[in-house]
């Protein structure tokens, strides 16, 4: 094996590089714009909710970037007590000037984008067979979902239980973090000693559209809204990681 290449079970190149450089100071400022016409913020049945956010890093510190994200949810009453929810989301990360984008600054996605996938389970991933296969994140993502929420008519409303069926699709892609490290000799190409080595970062850039379908149970419990989901991926990347069951708080997705 060429010098500087991975050894079995070693962390991915960007992880080791950022650990090697030690502490990094990020100085950032951001804002969020919201547009809300929901009829009920806790249990909406009609209306639109849009959140637009930007974060700028570069007011001092060691990193410079502009991170933009948007999230749109539209609730519509279909028939009595049955609500449809349409959601679109997307984001983009751009470096400023000649600054490099760190892996840690990338978007990381999983069930928050497409249910049925593990946290950090989709998108660009280190595929070197001797590494730990770390999720690298991406600088761009998009998602679209449609969900129908309905009560269990055979139960009293006071129980606070309702069901959901949904379909999700999305993608996370365009990793722009470090792919080589001259200090350790991990450079795709020919090393100084003339040995040809492909020991720089090898990764799947996650260009596949991920999609899933699933069902959920929503409970307006005395402790706050709780939700259980079971989703089955329909399309996925070769190296994605699946997690079909998910439990958490919140009625929306």
CA distance 18 to 98: 18
CA distance 27 to 50: 27
User: What pTM was estimated for this model as a whole?
Assistant: 0.89
CATH number of the domain within which 78 lies = 2.40.160.50
Looking at the domain assignment, is residue 2 inside a domain? no
Helix (H, G, I), strand (E, B) or coil at 159: helix
Of the listed ranges 20-29, 44-53, 162-171, the one predicted with least confidence: 20-29
Looking at the domain assignment, is residue 194 inside a domain? yes
Amino acid 19: pLDDT: 79
Please report, for residues 45, 46, 50, 84, the alpha-carbon distance to residue 39 in angstroms, rounded to integers and kept in the order given: 7, 6, 14, 14
Domain that holds residue 119: 13-249
Task: Please report, rounded to a whole number, the percentage of residues in the chain having pLDDT higher than 70.
Answer: 89
Where residue 26 falls among pLDDT bands split at 50, 70, 90?
A: confident
Looking at the domain assignment, is residue 1 inside a domain? no
Task: Please report, rounded to a whole number, the percentage of residues in the chain having pLDDT higher than 90.
Answer: 60
Q: Is the per-residue pLDDT at 250 higher than 90? A: no
Measure the N-to-C terminal CA separation of the chain; round to a whole number of Å: 47
Amino acid 2: pLDDT: 46
Mean pLDDT calculated for residue range 173-183: 89
Amino acid 192: pLDDT: 53
Residue 106, both tokens: 């990338």
- The b/e string for 28-37 (b: 16+ C-beta within 10 A; e otherwise) is beeeeeeeee
- The b/e string for 67-77 (b: 16+ C-beta within 10 A; e otherwise) is bebbbbbbbee
Q: Is the per-residue pLDDT at 157 higher than 80? A: yes
Looking at the domain assignment, is residue 5 inside a domain? no
Looking at the domain assignment, is residue 6 inside a domain? no
The total number of structural domains that make up the chain: 1
Looking at the domain assignment, is residue 7 inside a domain? no
The 10s digit of each residue's pLDDT in 63-120 is: 899 999 999 999 999 998 999 999 999 999 999 987 789 999 999 999 999 999 999 9
């Amino acid at each position: 094996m060429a010098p500087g290449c991975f050894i079995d079970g070693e962390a991915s190149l960007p992880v080791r590089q950022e650990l090697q450089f030690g502490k990094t100071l990020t100085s950032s400022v951001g804002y969020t714009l919201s547009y809300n016409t929901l009829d009920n913020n806790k249990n909406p049945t009609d209306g639109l909710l849009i959140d637009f956010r930007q974060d700028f890093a570069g007011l001092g510190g060691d990193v410079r970037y502009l991170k933009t994200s948007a999230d749109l949810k539209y609730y519509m009453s279909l028939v009595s007590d049955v609500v449809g929810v349409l959601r679109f989301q997307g984001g983009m990360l751009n470096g400023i000037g000649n600054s490099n984008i760190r892996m840690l600054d990338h978007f990381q996605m999983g069930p928050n984008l497409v249910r049925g996938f593990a946290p950090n389970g989709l998108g660009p991933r280190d595929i070197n067979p001797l590494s730990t296969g770390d999720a690298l994140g991406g600088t761009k993502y998009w998602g679209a979902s449609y969900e129908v929420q309905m009560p269990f008519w055979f139960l009293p409303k006071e129980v606070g239980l309702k069901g959901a069926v949904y379909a999700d699709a999305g993608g996370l892609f365009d990793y722009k973090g470090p792919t080589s490290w001259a200090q350790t000799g991990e450079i795709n190409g020919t090393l100084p000693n003339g040995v040809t080595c492909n020991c720089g970062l090898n990764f799947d850039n996650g260009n596949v559209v991920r999609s899933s379908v699933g069902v959920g149970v929503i409970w307006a419990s005395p402790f706050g809204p709780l939700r259980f989901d079971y989703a089955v991926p329909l399309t996925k990347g070769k190296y994605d990681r699946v997690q079909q069951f998910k439990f958490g708080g919140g009625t929306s997705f």
